[in-house]
Amino acid sequence: MNQNLPEDPQLREMVKAALAHKVTRRAVLGGAVATSAAALLAACAPSDKAQLTPATDVSDSDPSLIWSNWSLYVDVDDAGNYPTLEKFKSETGISVTYREDYDDNDSYFGKVKDQLALGQDIGADLTCPTSWMAARWINAGYVQTFDEAELPNKKNVQPAYLGEAYDPQRTMSLPYQGILAGFAFDKKAYKDATGKEAPAVLADLWDPSLKGRIGVLSEMRDTVGIVLMDQGVKIGDANSLTEDAFMSAIDVIGQKVTEGQIARIKGNSYKDDLVNGDTIVAIAWSGDIIQLNAEAGYDRFGFVLPESGGTISADCFVIPMGATHKKNAEKLMNFYYDPYNAAVLAAYVNYITPVVGAKEEAMKLDPALAENQLIFPSEEFLSLTQGFRALDSKEEQAFTKAFQKIKLGA
C-alpha cells in the first residue's frame, strides 16, 4: 500500500489520514488546512528537544520498507536489480523500495525538516545521513531507538564505530558504510592535460591546464576538510581547527572558484560530470569511482588520497520517528551486518565496511577484494585520514553559510 502514496511528505500525511479514517473530501480539505497550520506553527514554535512518539509499526501486516539512500550505494546487477535486496526479500519476504534520492545532507534535511520536527512520515522508513547529520537528528529526538532483539548481528559492528558522543552504544544509529574523500581523476584526460600520472597534493588541482575542469563536493566537511589538511590543520582537533583556520580555507576555495579553476560544487551528482568529461579532477568519494569504472567497463578513473591526507566519515542507518516499518528496517540492518552480506555489498559499493568478519568472507569471495585498502584499510592507511570534528550549532551555521556563499558567487 505504501508504494502508491505520493512522495511529497506533506501530501503523504494527508492521503494516509484519509485512508486511515475513510474520511470525506471535506474532511481532507480541513485536514489540509490543519496540516499546513501545524507546519506553520512548527516553523514558528520555539524548539526544544522534540518530544515525539514513534509512529505505529505496521511491519507485521505489511512486509515492505522504503529505504532512502545515496546513489551508487547498493549493489546493482546489469538488469538494474539489487541482488542483496532480492536476497533479503527471499529470506524474509520483505520487499524493499529503494530510492536514490539522498543527494546532499543539507538539502535532504531541508526537505524533510518540518516532517521530522512533527514526527511525521518523511516517506522513508530507513535512511542514511552522514554521522554529523545523524547526530543532529539524534540530538533533536527525530529518530527511533532500535529494538536490540531484532539486531542480533549488531555484535559485528567494528568497535571503532562505537563510543561516538552522540550515540555511544549505537542504540539509534548504526554505521552503514565508512566513506573516504580524496581526489578522483580521469586518468587519460589528466595525463593529457598535465603530463603527470596522478594528482598527489592539492596544488596539483590548481594546475593552469585544469582550469574549469575541477569539481569539489558540496559536502562541506569533505571539501573544506581536505583543503584544511593541506594547510596542516588537524581537522579532528578543536584547537587546530578554529574558525580562523576554517575561514582561511574558505578563502582559498572561494578564490579558486572566482578564478574559474573550480567549476562545479556538487553533491552526489558530480559523477555525471566525471562521466561526460566536464570534470577531470574532483574531490570525490572513493567507492563511487570504482563503480564508475565498472560502468565504464575499464579503469577510466583513478582515486588517490592527497599526501596531506583525506577525510573519513560514516553514513549511518537511522529510522525516523514517523517511520511505520521499524521492524522491517531493523531486519534489513541486521541483514547487512551479516559478514557474508557485508562482503558482497562491499565488493560492489567499495566503501569501508564497518562489519567484523567481512574481510574473511571477502577473502573467500575474491582475495584481491580483501586486499583493497579502500574497503578493508590497514592501520597505516587509516593514519592518512582524519575525521572532521563535531561543530556546535553556531559554528555549524557560520561555516555552512560561508561555504554556501562560495557556491552562490558574489
Partner 1 sequence: MAFAAFSSTKSNGTSKPKKTGRVVIALLAPGLAYLGAFFLTPLIALIMVSLQAQDPYGGIGDYIPAFEINNYFLVITEYFPHMFRSFSYALIATILALLISYPLAYFIGVKARPYPLLQKLMLTLVIAPFFISFLLRTLAWKQIFSNESWIVTTLQDTGLLEADQYVVGTPFMVIFGLTYNFIPFMTLPLYTSLERLDTRYLEAGSDLYASPSKVFRKVTLPLSMPGIISGTLLTFIPIAGDYINASGDFLGSSSTAMLGNVIEANYLQINDYPSASALSVLLMGAILILVAGYVKKSGTEDLL
The helix, strand and coil proportions of the chain, stated in percent and rounded to the nearest 5, come to 50, 15, 35
Contact 103, 129 (CB under 8 A): no
Using the contact rule CB under 8 A, the part of the chain among 58-66, 134-142, 282-290, 347-355 near partner 1 is 134-142
Using the contact rule CB under 8 A, the part of the chain among 40-48, 59-67, 171-179, 239-247 near partner 1 is 40-48
Using the contact rule CB under 8 A, the part of the chain among 171-179, 258-266, 330-338, 372-380 near partner 1 is 258-266
Nearer to partner 1 by C-beta: 269 or 383?
Answer: 269
Q: How far is the CB of 43 from partner 1 (least distance, A)?
A: 6
Check binding of 30 to partner 1 (CB under 8 A).
Answer: no
Nearer to partner 1 by C-beta: 208 or 297?
Answer: 208
Write out the three cell numbers for 342: 557485508
Check binding of 242 to partner 1 (CB under 8 A).
Answer: no
Q: How far is the CB of 240 from partner 1 (least distance, A)?
A: 23
Contact 102, 128 (CB under 8 A): yes
Question: Which of 37, 312, 10, 23 shows the shortest CA–CA distance to 158?
Answer: 312
* 292 contacts: CB under 8 Å, gap ≥ 6: 72, 271, 274, 275, 300, 301
Q: How far is the CB of 357 from partner 1 (least distance, A)?
A: 38
Using the contact rule CB under 8 A, the part of the chain among 147-155, 171-179, 254-262, 281-289 near partner 1 is 254-262
Helices (H), 240-350: 243-259, 270-276, 286-296, 326-336, 339-349
Read off the DSSP letter of residue 239.
T
Q: How far is the CB of 131 from partner 1 (least distance, A)?
A: 16
Q: Does residue 396 sit in helix, strand or coil?
A: helix
Pick from 99, 113, 154, 300 the residue near partner 1 by CB under 8 A: 113
Cα–chain-centroid distance for residue 59?
Answer: 25
Walk across the sheet containing 95-99 and list its strands.
95-99, 64-68, 126-127
Check binding of 106 to partner 1 (CB under 8 A).
Answer: yes
Q: How far is the CB of 55 from partner 1 (least distance, A)?
A: 22
Read off the DSSP letter of residue 410.
-
Pick from 46, 80, 232, 297 the residue near partner 1 by CB under 8 A: 46
Residue with cell 509512529: 55
Pick from 1, 43, 160, 296 the residue near partner 1 by CB under 8 A: 43
In whole angstroms, give the CA distance from residue 1 to residue 169.
Answer: 34
Q: How far is the CB of 293 from partner 1 (least distance, A)?
A: 18
Check binding of 276 to partner 1 (CB under 8 A).
Answer: yes
Beta strands 310-317 and 174-186 are antiparallel
Write out the three cell numbers for 389: 570534528
Q: Which residues here bind partner 1, judged by CB under 8 A? A: 33, 36, 40, 43-44, 46-47, 104, 106-107, 109-111, 113, 136, 139-140, 208-209, 211-213, 218, 257-258, 260, 263-266, 269, 276-278, 393, 396-397, 400-401, 404, 406-410
